[in-house]
Amino acid sequence: MDDTVIDVRHLTKRFGGRAVVDDVSMRVNRGEIVGFLGPNGSGKTTTIRMICGLLTIDEGEGEVLGHDLRTESRAIKDQVGYMTQRFSLYEDLTIEENLDLVAGLYRLPDARAAVRDTLASLGLTSRRRHLAGKLSGGWKQRLALAACIMHAPQLLLLDEPTAGVDPKARREFWDEIHELAAGGITVLVSTHYMDEAERCHRISYIAYGRLIAEGTVDEVVRGSGLHTFVVAGPGLEPLARRLRGTPGIDQVAAFGASLHVVGRDRGRLQAALAEVARAPGMTVAPAETSLEDVFIEFMAGSQDNME
């Protein structure tokens, strides 16, 4: 079987004459977890909906799970699990009743066994009679994932699935995602959390409709060409105000009792910080550039296509 699960080329979608997604190409292999990053309104959700056949593409072509994106959208939907940003199950039904309903919608041959096994696999059995509307954010998220995987999809499309969920529940969710990927399921997940992006095998960054970077986290960070220095010492707030806008400095951000100062030209950045390094009580040291630094730089260098 071909290991390519998503192979889309030059996808474009317009609303009101504006290209919300503009010439996006992407290739994802079986068992990969690919993080989809970008600012709000950048086209992530629209791209995901085109990939799973919920939105018709205006331009471009591609195959998902071996099916043509334009002519075989129903076959694609049958093999995809799509988890939306908002909890979309019935809050006045129990966990088990919601899964019973989903099993019926997919016409699973042994719905009772499918529900039982799904409850067990995600640790929901003891809570199966709890109303969905009374669940915490983490348990709602787990129920939503259960509804996505009970028909044994080959591809999971997760649209900001952990928004509003506490760190422990997020970590447990990602452990589940890695187990699913190890079993051969492919995952495309949009997120704003940098620690989540770092748990993906690869990331793709989209800014206002255009795909501008992709690769492993290390590849994207190296490809950004950014350099970072950590500044520590007294009077950091007035120093931060003074450094912002200084030639050679692109970003200044407070991190606890230090400043992260970022720029593209290492020489100019060091020259801009030379005076700071000579001040009493101040230290300036090189540091690794973070994915968040790169994310902010990409946003600063992109133009909003809605303006």
- Per-residue pLDDT of 56-82, as tens digits, reads 999 999 999 999 999 999 999 999 999
Which pLDDT score, from 0 to 100, does residue 287 have?
95
User: The whole model's pTM is what?
Assistant: 0.88
Domains and CATH numbers, the chain: 4-221 (3.40.50.300), 227-288 (3.30.70.920)
Confidence of residue 123 (pLDDT cuts 50, 70, 90): very high
Of the candidates 217, 170, 163, 231, the residue with the CA atom closest to the CA atom of residue 191? 163
**Is the Cβ–Cβ distance between 43 and 24 less than 8 Å?**
yes
Residue 261 has pLDDT above 50, yes or no: yes
Identify the helix (H) or strand (E) that includes residue 227.
strand 227-232
Kindly report each contact of residues 214-222 with a partner whose C-beta sits within 8 Å and lies 24 or more positions away, as own/partner. Answer: 214/26, 217/291, 220/291, 220/294, 221/289, 221/290, 221/291, 221/294
Confidence of residue 40 (pLDDT cuts 50, 70, 90): confident
Torsion 19-23-27-32 (CA) sign: negative
- Per-residue pLDDT of 166-175, as tens digits, reads 888 889 999 9
- Per-residue pLDDT of 131-156, as tens digits, reads 999 999 889 999 999 999 999 999 99
Q: Where are the beta strands (DSSP E) in 144-185?
A: 155-159
Residue 23 has pLDDT above 50, yes or no: yes
